[in-house]
Chain A
Amino acid sequence: MILDPNKIRADFPILNQEVNGYPLVYLDNGASSQKPKAVIDAVCEYYTHDHSNIHRGVHTLSGKATEQYELVREKVKNLVNAAHAHEIIFTRGTTESINLLASSLGRSVISQGDEIIVSELEHHSNIVPWQLLCENTGAKLKVIPVDDNGNLELGAYDELLNDKTRIVSVAHVSNTLGTVLPLKEIIEKAHNQGALVAIDGAQAVPHMSVDVQDLNCDFYCFSSHKMFGPTGVGVLYGKEDLLNKLPPYHGGGNMISSVTFEKTEYNDLPHKFEAGTPNIAGGIGLGAAIDYIEGVGYENIEIYERTLLAYAIQELKKVKGLRLIGEPKDQAGVISFLLGVHHPLDVGTILDQLGIAVRTGHHCTQPLMDRFGITGTVRASFSFYNIKEEVDKLVAGILKAGSLLG
């Protein structure tokens, strides 16, 4: 075996507990992953020994904190293979990354009549910021439809693209269906029309290696807390020349080079987009999470998780009355399903009684729920610390829920 899940599990202290009298089965990784001890320790160490505000401090502690924080930028750059560390902007999370983009692009490249394309499977975070932009600018939002299996209808995408298309913003992996989008094709076609491409990678980075230069995307967003790091830290990657052209998002300290009441000069990348004191400890924790992921290795993670997901799909399909929502061509991390006529909330409530943590509801993808004519699903989302025995417990839990709910 390439990856020893029991050794991995021992690195995550939270997994070793009982919930409602049963050993915890954590299958809500799509919402937030758990943290290895290395990440918890890094945050604790930082506050215990090294904390001070970063940038411009002359004293030793400030220097140490700055050095550590900027080292994380290097680590993120290497993780996603960006060309430069200053192409990595730290934010509060994927949501803020996309809002930053929508705001800055809205004040520079978007005008009335322009078109922005998203897909039907997007998280609300990759819909609403663009809707706001459209309201402010008079641009139009266009939507790539999803087929019955949860794949994008690429023929329809071709028809949506035209010389008015300015931005295409899609997920790398669907948070509700697990669909892995054919990004290279989507990106190339958008570029052929002269459009920019932003990717919501929140559900991809925890599961697969990402190479932003190979993808040739213009922007790529993700969150620390879904990839074993602390909450409150996210990343916006952008190509250097594009980031340089964009106006700043938030104003404040750190993002300026000089301020007078007549004219303020902005700082260089990445600081231009990083106003105020950032989540330094969170950033340090993200650095430890990247070290952890690289220690396990994406190749091992991908092989292990694909096997686990295939096993889960195979076992869930055996459950009478269970309907998988979406069976995409390429799937990662996530399975959505419904059990008979039962409300997802009822199924989730019974599973919780058995110590099994899943998520129920619309998963912040209401347009996708409308597409499938449902109001919600039960979603099991996996990580490389989950094991086959937990899939078996999930299946047994679903059978129990089925018999209780009648």
Chain B
Amino acid sequence: MASIKDLQEEIIDNFSMFEDWTQKYEYLIEFGKSLSLLDEKYKTAAYEVKGCQAKVWLHTEFEDGKLIFAADSDAIITKGIIGLLVHVLSDHDVDEILDTELYFIEEIGIKEHLSPTRSNGLVAMIKQMKIYALGYKAKA
């Protein structure tokens, strides 16, 4: 199983091939579209990540000491980005999720989406993922 760091490096490597923003966004959009949809039963207020202009839902399961994330959004670029986040963080130990620095978003040049003023929920999403990890760590 690749580490969170390895998965981030892989994404950075992929993005380094793109020559301009159009290709980058095309990739994010296609990635967003290719993701499996979150079960409709999780698209409720209870699973909604607040603070987003787009709707973002995050579902978490805890299996064999690992956190499994699944997420969806009604905006496709947002879905592409949260899809990358899920790809990087899901199926890892809570300690690894809590301890590993997330740097790929900055590296692939979509840092502006991390700005809290964008209200697209990425910051809230990352915070929510870490809160889940903290919660499961406390329980364990």
Q: Is A405 an interface residue (CB 8 A)?
A: yes
Q: Are A406 and B120 in contact (CB under 8 A)?
A: no
- In the complex, A361 Cα to B33 Cα: how many Å? 22
**Complex interface: chain B residues within 8 A of A404 (CB):** 22, 25-26, 29
- The one of B21, B25, B76, B119 in contact with A343, judged by C-beta atoms closer than 8 angstroms, is B76
User: Which of A55-63, A274-282, A344-352 contacts the other chain?
Assistant: A344-352
- Nearest residue (CB) in A for B112 is A352
- Nearest residue (CB) in A for B24 is A353
**Complex interface: chain A residues within 8 A of B75 (CB):** 343, 345-346
**Complex interface: chain B residues within 8 A of A360 (CB):** 53
- Nearest residue (CB) in B for A354 is B21
Q: Are B54 and A406 in contact (CB under 8 A)?
A: no
- In the complex, A406 Cα to B77 Cα: how many Å? 12
Mark contacts of B82-111 with chain A using CB atoms, 8 A cut-off: 1 yes-contact digit, 0 otherwise: 000000000000000000000000000000
- Nearest residue (CB) in B for A352 is B112
- In the complex, A237 Cα to B29 Cα: how many Å? 49
Q: Are A405 and B53 in contact (CB under 8 A)?
A: no
Query: A337-381: which residues lie under 8 A (CB-CB) from chain B?
Result: 342-346, 349-350, 353, 360-361, 375-376
User: How many chain B residues touch A (Cβ–Cβ < 8 Å)?
Assistant: 16
Q: Are B29 and A406 in contact (CB under 8 A)?
A: yes
**Complex interface: chain A residues within 8 A of B55 (CB):** 375
User: How many chain A residues touch B (Cβ–Cβ < 8 Å)?
Assistant: 16
Known: A345-B53, A346-B76, A360-B53. A353 touches B120 (CB 8 A): no
- The one of A20, A343, A353, A405 in contact with B54, judged by C-beta atoms closer than 8 angstroms, is A343
Q: Are B25 and A345 in contact (CB under 8 A)?
A: no
**Complex interface: chain B residues within 8 A of A345 (CB):** 53-54, 75, 77-78, 120
**B35 → chain A, closest Cβ, in Å?**
15
- In the complex, A361 Cα to B26 Cα: how many Å? 23
- Nearest residue (CB) in A for B113 is A349
**Complex interface: chain A residues within 8 A of B25 (CB):** 349-350, 353, 404
Q: Is B74 an interface residue (CB 8 A)?
A: yes
**Complex interface: chain B residues within 8 A of A343 (CB):** 54, 74-76, 78
**Complex interface: chain A residues within 8 A of B53 (CB):** 344-345, 360-361, 376
Mark contacts of B13-30 with chain A using CB atoms, 8 A cut-off: 1 yes-contact digit, 0 otherwise: 000000001100110010
**B41 → chain A, closest Cβ, in Å?**
21
- Nearest residue (CB) in A for B54 is A345
**A135 → chain B, closest Cβ, in Å?**
24
Q: Are A20 and B21 in contact (CB under 8 A)?
A: yes
Lowest 8 A-B CB distances belong to which pairs? A343-B75, A345-B75, A345-B54, A361-B53, A346-B77, A346-B75, A345-B53, A353-B21
- In the complex, A177 Cα to B20 Cα: how many Å? 35
